[in-house]
Amino acid sequence: MEFTHSEKVIRLQTRVRAFMEAHVYPAERVSRPRCRRTVARETSGFRPT
């Protein structure tokens, strides 16, 4: 599907696409940090792991 965009958008598209290829896709498999440690209340029945 082809659309006519302004020069500004075309340039940004090219740069965002290049950034995704260079940085984002390669980083997808890097393990991410864990969530903030949860605090369980005794009544919740939830046990943090």
Partner 1 sequence: MEELKRHARADGLWNLWLPESEYGAGLTNLEYAPLCEIMGRSVIGPEAFNCSAPDTGNMEVLARYGTEAQKREWLVPLLEGRIRSAFAMTEPGVASSDATNIESRIERRGDEYVLNGRKWWTSGAGDPRCTILIFMGKSDPTHADRHRRQSMILVPRDTPGVTVLRQLPVFGYDDAPHGHSEVSFENVRVPASNMLLGEGRGFEIAQGRLGPGRIHHCMRLIGASERALEALCRRASARTSFGRLLSEQGVTRARIADARIMIDQVRLLVLHAAWKMDVAGNKAAQNEIAMIKVVAPNVACQVLDWAIQVFGAAGVSDDFGLAYAYASARTLRLADGPDEVHRNQIAKFELGRHAEAASNESPAGLRTESMPRPPGHGA
DSSP 30: S
**In the complex, least distance from residue 30 CB atom to partner 1, rounded to whole angstroms:** 9
Among 4, 7, 34, 42, binds partner 1 (CB under 8 A): 34
1 binds partner 1 (CB under 8 A): yes
CB contact set of 39 (below 8 Å; sequence gap of 6+): 48
Distances (CA, A) of 4 to 1, 9, 10, 13: 10, 10, 9, 12
Residues interacting with partner 1, by CB under 8 A? 1, 3, 5-6, 8-9, 12-13, 15-17, 19-20, 23-25, 27-28, 32-36, 38-41, 44, 46, 48
